[in-house]
């Protein structure tokens, strides 16, 4: 009886944790065209691109073949327009799109200026942009 109760508690806890984590992504490390559900950052500076495709376990850019992956810069204004003027913390930005990964050389604002190679998630079809933010304090 104690084992049965213990198992029920464990299953309940796992299901509860799963239900609270609605950050699901769909992404394959390939340069082939694919439909993805990914999370991106916005407004990052210094790395040659501003919208990294995020690795959810550490909120750093995903990498393929050792190179950071960034979202298509042509959609920066589209993403920015979805954000409120003032937010607290980091926005959760989920993108659903058909993309392919293309290697690209970008300029880096360093002294002296330099370049580096990244992968860009080039958008074929932007299907959805969902933004969750916390309002500003005060």
Rounded Cα–Cα distance for residues 55 and 52 (Å) = 9
> What pLDDT is stored for residue 123 in this prediction?
98
> What pLDDT is stored for residue 20 in this prediction?
35
- Asked if the model's pLDDT at residue 106 lies above 70, the reply is yes
Confidence bin at 31 (pLDDT 50/70/90)? very high
> What pLDDT is stored for residue 57 in this prediction?
85
Confidence bin at 1 (pLDDT 50/70/90)? low
**Percent above pLDDT 70 for the chain:** 81
Is 14 or 25 the better-scoring residue by pLDDT? 25
> What pLDDT is stored for residue 136 in this prediction?
85
pLDDT tens digit string along 46-97? 677 889 999 988 889 999 999 999 999 999 999 999 998 888 888 899 999 9
DSSP the chain: -HHHHHHHHHHHHHHHHHHH-----B--S-SS-EEEEEEE--S--SSS-S-BBEETTTTEE-EETTEEEEE-GGGHHHHHTTS-S-EEEEEEEEEEEEEEEEEEEEEE--SS-EEEEEEEEEEEEEEEEEEEEEEPP-
């Amino acid at each position: 009886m104690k084992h049965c109760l213990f198992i029920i508690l464990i299953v309940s806890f796992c299901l509860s944790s799963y239900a609270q984590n609605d950050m699901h992504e769909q992404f394959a490390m390939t340069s082939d065209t694919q439909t993805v559900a990914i999370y991106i950052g916005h407004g990052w500076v210094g790395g040659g691109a501003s919208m990294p495709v995020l690795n959810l376990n550490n909120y750093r850019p995903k990498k393929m073949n050792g190179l950071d992956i960034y979202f298509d810069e042509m959609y920066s204004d589209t993403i920015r327009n979805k954000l409120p003027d003032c937010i607290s913390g980091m926005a959760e930005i989920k993108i659903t799109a058909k993309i392919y990964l293309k290697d690209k050389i970008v300029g880096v604002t360093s002294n002296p200026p330099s370049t580096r190679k990244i992968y860009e998630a080039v958008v074929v079809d932007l299907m959805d942009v969902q933004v969750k933010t916390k309002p500003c304090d005060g």
